[in-house]
């Protein structure tokens, strides 16, 4: 009996190995699909993107025909379960009529907690977490998805232009697909009880500078789909709205696609699909903030537990992202993700300390103490106390950021929004 059991185990392992090998060949080998008398070869994503400007239609047709060949496996062998798995519905799907993609009041009661139900940020990256308090069997609407493992209505997928072929290397395609699906008549959901294993590489093999391509792809999404909210992406990456120094390629075809499909605007998406996303349209200037008396250091949020802004050598990353708003608030730090999590703190003059405080704006009672008068290359003066944010040089001991009577020091911020 033991020998028979070993034979069965070996047989199963061999079958798994053969199946894995076949799948590996199917995945890595260029796929040829007959179209009339010609063959159209489907190449890896980067190569296909390079060809898109010259032969977008043949590649798209070949991809859709390949998907058609897979439909028998997905729909018949899984007995139609794919209908409930992937959950990008076509026209007339669950997004019809502008129904909100949020929980009902009864569901909200069950789902209360400090966690976030959704969440990509203004970088158009980071995690998209699920609310695990929802019963495991129930589909959950989502503004986007992690990665690109999904089941989709093939006809609808083709009509909305598949994935953006102008994106390069890595990042952003899942966010672009989520926004596009919702705006153009579909809906996107996840089924918590479906399980997909993903073994992540320790190092991405695509390119040594993935951050650049993530940024570039995010800007493509912003320019095509985000309308008046595209500034959020530029603010998050600390890039100027005009001439950001990154060539995002031609987006005219994607804009024409959006227009031909009569897709909704991004305001609708925020109101009905992702109301948890923070909005920063009140921003009028952002980036590193420098003083004319110490140009090599920038305003920095410093150690979070100290609740005090500091000066630090300029590097332009999140802790030095200053943001001045129409209301006169001066925020410091990376943009918040959703309204379910804390937002960037703001600068406060409590009139007692000579050090500028960095606090949660919503918890500061005095409106004037957190409002500042500031114009480019001018003083930063608190509206409540009349004191200015200035640099004090202590010689060999260094420099300090303090609040005191104005002496004429001037500040400049990197980027402005007209």
Integer Cα distance of 385 and 368 in angstroms: 8
Instruction: Provide the pLDDT for residue 251.
Output: 94
Residue with more model confidence, 318 or 74: 318
What share of the chain has pLDDT > 90, as a percent?
41
Predicted local distance difference test score (pLDDT) of residue 142: 84
Q: Which DSSP string corresponds to 48-73? A: HHHHHHHHHHHHHHHHHHHHHHHHII
Instruction: List the one residue out of 340, 408, 337, 276 whose CA is nearest residue 124.
Output: 337
Of the pLDDT bands very low, low, confident and very high (cuts 50, 70, 90), residue 170 is: confident
pLDDT at res. 270: 93
Provide the 8-state DSSP code for 55.
H
**Number of neighbouring beta carbons within 10 Å of residue 118:** 24
Same domain, 155 and 244: yes
- Identify which of 363, 358, 331, 169 has the alpha carbon closest to the alpha carbon of residue 235: 331
> Which of 195 and 393 is assigned the larger pLDDT?
393
Q: What is the mean pLDDT of residues 166-183?
A: 90
Same domain, yes or no, for 244 and 95? yes
Alpha helices in 87-129 (DSSP H): 105-110
Specify if 102 maps to a domain: yes
Q: How many CB atoms lie within 10 A of CB 400?
A: 14
- Of 239, 272, 305, at which residue does a domain stop? 272
Last residue of a domain, one of 215, 247, 272: 272
Q: Alpha-carbon distance 48 to 164, whole Å?
A: 11
The percent of residues in the chain predicted with pLDDT above 70, rounded, is 67
Q: What is the pLDDT of residue 42?
A: 29
User: Given this model, what pLDDT does residue 50 score?
Assistant: 37
Is there a domain that residue 205 lies in?
yes
Q: d(Cα 93, Cα 74) in Å, to the nearest integer?
A: 20
Return the higher-pLDDT residue of 353 and 126.
353
DSSP 8-state assignment for residue 172: S
pLDDT tens-digit profile of 273-311?
A: 898 889 999 999 999 999 999 989 999 998 888 899 999
CA distances to 118, 126, 141, 207 from 101, rounded to whole Å, are 11, 20, 6, 36
Q: Quick one: which of 30, 24, 34 has its CA closest to 62?
A: 34
Give one word for 155, left, alpha or beta, with left for phi > 0 and alpha for psi -120 to 50: alpha
CB of 293 closer than 8 Å to CB of 348: no
Same domain, 139 and 188: yes
Mean pLDDT of 106-111: 52
Among left, alpha and beta (phi > 0; psi -120 to 50; other), residue 162 is left
**Residue 393: what pLDDT?**
87
Domain annotation covers residue 62: no
247 and 191, same structural domain?
A: yes
CA angle 322, 287, 177 (to 5 degrees): 100
Q: Which CATH number characterizes residue 297's domain?
A: 2.80.10.50
Residue 366 in domain: yes
156 and 231 share one domain? yes
If one compares 65 and 260, the residue with the highest pLDDT of the two is 260
Of 153, 180, 138, which is closest to residue 89 (Cα–Cα)? Answer: 153
Tens-digit pLDDT profile for residues 62-98: 777 766 666 655 555 444 444 444 333 333 333 334 3
Least confident of 43-52, 100-109, 405-414: 43-52
Of 243, 272, 301, the position where a domain reaches its end is: 272
| Any domain includes 76 | no
Give the count of domains, the chain. Answer: 2
Residues 303 and 410 in one domain: yes
Are the C-beta atoms of 138 and 87 separated by less than 8 Å?
no
Using the predicted structure, report yes or no on whether residue 357 has a pLDDT greater than 90.
yes
Q: What are phi and psi of 155, to 5 degrees?
A: -65, -45
Range of the domain at 208: 81-272
The pLDDT value given to residue 95: 38
Examine the domain organization and report whether 99 and 198 are in the same domain: yes
pLDDT at res. 412: 96
Interval 178-190 mean pLDDT: 90
Question: Are 393 and 293 contacting, i.e. CB atoms less than 8 angstroms apart?
Answer: yes
pLDDT confidence of residue 359 = 93
Are 361 and 410 in the same domain? yes
Max mean pLDDT among 88-92, 113-117, 262-266, 302-306 falls in 262-266
* pLDDT of 351 over the 60 cut: yes
Q: What is the pLDDT of residue 388?
A: 96
Query: Of residues 410 and 31, which shows the higher confidence score?
Result: 410
Mean pLDDT score of the chain: 76
Q: Is the pLDDT of residue 315 over 50?
A: yes
- Whether 59 is covered by a domain: the verdict is no
Q: Quick check: 382 pLDDT over 50?
A: yes
Domain at 109, CATH number: 3.90.550.10
Same domain? 294 vs 398: yes
Q: Whole-model pTM?
A: 0.74
Span 235-252, average pLDDT: 93
Same domain, 333 and 354: yes
**Does 217 share its domain with 266?**
yes
pLDDT tens column, 126-140: 776 555 555 556 677
Considering only residues 132 and 371, tell me which one the structure prediction assigns the higher pLDDT: 371
Q: Is residue 72 part of a domain?
A: no
Going by the DSSP 8-state scheme, the letter that residue 80 receives in this structure is T
- Regarding whether 234 and 161 lie in a shared domain, the answer is yes
163 torsion bin: left (phi>0), alpha (psi -120 to 50), beta (else): beta
**pLDDT band with cut points at 50, 70 and 90 for residue 343:** confident
């Amino acid at each position: 009996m033991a020998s028979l059991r070993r034979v069965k185990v070996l047989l199963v392992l061999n079958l798994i190995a053969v199946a894995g090998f076949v799948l590996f060949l199917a995945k890595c080998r260029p796929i040829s699909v007959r179209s009339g008398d010609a063959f159209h070869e489907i190449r890896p994503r980067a190569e296909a993107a390079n060809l898109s400007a010259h032969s977008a239609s043949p590649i798209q047709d070949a991809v859709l025909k390949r998907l058609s060949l897979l439909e028998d496996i997905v729909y018949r062998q899984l007995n139609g379960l794919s209908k409930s798995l992937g959950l990008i519905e076509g026209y007339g799907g669950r997004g019809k009529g502008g129904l909100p993609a949020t929980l009902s009041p009864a569901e909200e009661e069950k789902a209360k907690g400090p966690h976030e139900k959704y969440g990509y940020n203004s970088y158009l990256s980071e995690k998209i977490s699920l609310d695990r308090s929802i019963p495991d069997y129930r589909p959950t609407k989502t503004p986007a998805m992690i990665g690109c493992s999904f089941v989709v209505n093939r006809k609808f997928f083709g009509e909305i232009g598949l994935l953006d072929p102008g994106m390069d290397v890595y990042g952003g395609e899942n966010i672009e697909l989520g926004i596009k699906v919702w705006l153009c008549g579909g809906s996107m959901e996840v089924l918590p009880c479906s399980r997909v294993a993903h073994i992540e590489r320790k190092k991405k093999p695509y390119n040594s500078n993935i951050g650049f391509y993530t940024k570039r792809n995010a800007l493509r999404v912003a320019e095509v789909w985000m309308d008046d909210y595209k500034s959020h992406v530029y603010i998050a990456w600390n890039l100027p709205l005009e001439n950001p120094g990154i060539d995002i390629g031609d987006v005219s075809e994607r804009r024409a696609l959006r227009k031909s499909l009569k897709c909704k605007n991004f305001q609708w998406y925020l109101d009905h699909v992702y109301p948890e996303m923070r909005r920063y349209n009140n921003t009028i200037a952002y980036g590193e903030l420098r003083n004319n008396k110490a140009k090599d250091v920038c305003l920095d949020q410093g150690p979070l537990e100290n609740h005090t802004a500091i000066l630090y050598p300029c590097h332009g990353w999140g802790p030095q992202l200053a943001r001045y708003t129409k209301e006169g608030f001066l925020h410091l730090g990376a943009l918040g993700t959703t309204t379910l999590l804390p937002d960037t703190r703001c600068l406060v003059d409590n009139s007692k300390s000579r050090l500028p405080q960095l606090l949660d704006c919503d918890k500061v009672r005095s409106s004037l103490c957190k409002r500042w008068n500031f114009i480019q290359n001018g003083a930063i003066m608190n509206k409540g106390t009349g004191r200015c944010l200035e640099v004090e040089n202590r010689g060999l001991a260094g420099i300090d950021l303090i609040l005191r009577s104005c002496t004429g020091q001037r500040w400049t911020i990197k980027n402005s929004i007209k």
